[in-house]
Chain A
């Protein structure tokens, strides 16, 4: 079983993959409609919104938690260093 490189979700069945393509290393929730992988800013925004929508976290706390949890994942290694700008929100 693979873990999504961009969010860590376990991928156990074809429906977990973008367009059902099991050769991909990222999951359907980290893909754009055309099957390509979302960018870091897209994923950061999506993760922040997910934490707010499903757990009700404060926006700033959710944003900070999203940055820290994404930093643990293979797809985003080194990304933050290149995007190391102060958050606007």
Chain B
């Protein structure tokens, strides 16, 4: 069924609000943002926001779900062509890099966000852990002598990446943590992994 002009305008305004909220969240932080900040940045009235979202909490959930999906999808697309764990870790960081300011906010704030946003966070991590498990098992699975459980290896990697992002002001004040540390993060992690295996 064809949409009316009014329906199309409503959709466009909602898209504008989601994109604007994403940009403001990336810059100011999610919990630090007020409805008026988004309204001002989007050039709409305060009331317009509540035509599209029942609350700021609902808006946060929708923005995190939408951009969480985009991050997960990007990771998935990049990871599909990963032949080795090294390729996959680079693909993971490549997916994050495109959304780095927003993803960093999620790393720092996700425990404080509404429950729906927390679920989106789990979904983003699942897209990565899915490919991580496939590639790891293909590359090392039959010959894993490290004795380290798969989820511990995954969490060590995530812990490393998230630590750098969380403290990005100290590691890369210009705001490009992944671009600057991508190679050394991947190389160091792989050396640890392979070194640990060799000693056994």
**Which A residues have a C-beta under 8 Å from some C-beta of B?**
8-10, 12, 50-56, 65, 68-69, 72
Chain B contact patch, size range: 20 to 34
In the complex, the answer to whether A8 meets B154 with C-beta atoms within 8 Å is no
Which of A12, A51, A54 counts the most B-chain CB atoms under 10 A from its CB? A54
In the complex, the answer to whether A54 meets B80 with C-beta atoms within 8 Å is no
Number of A-B contacts (CB under 8 A): 45
**Which B residues have a C-beta under 8 Å from some C-beta of A?**
73, 76-77, 80, 115, 119, 122-123, 125-126, 129-130, 132-133, 149-152, 154-155
Which of B126, B149, B151 counts the most A-chain CB atoms under 10 A from its CB? B126
Top 5 nearest A-B pairs by Cβ distance?
Answer: A56-B151, A54-B129, A54-B133, A55-B129, A68-B119
Contact A54/B123 with A10-B73, A10-B76 known, Cβ cut-off 8 Å: no
**Residues of chain A lying within 8 A (CB to CB) of residue B129:** 50, 54-55
Contact A54/B119 with A10-B73, A10-B76, A12-B80 known, Cβ cut-off 8 Å: no
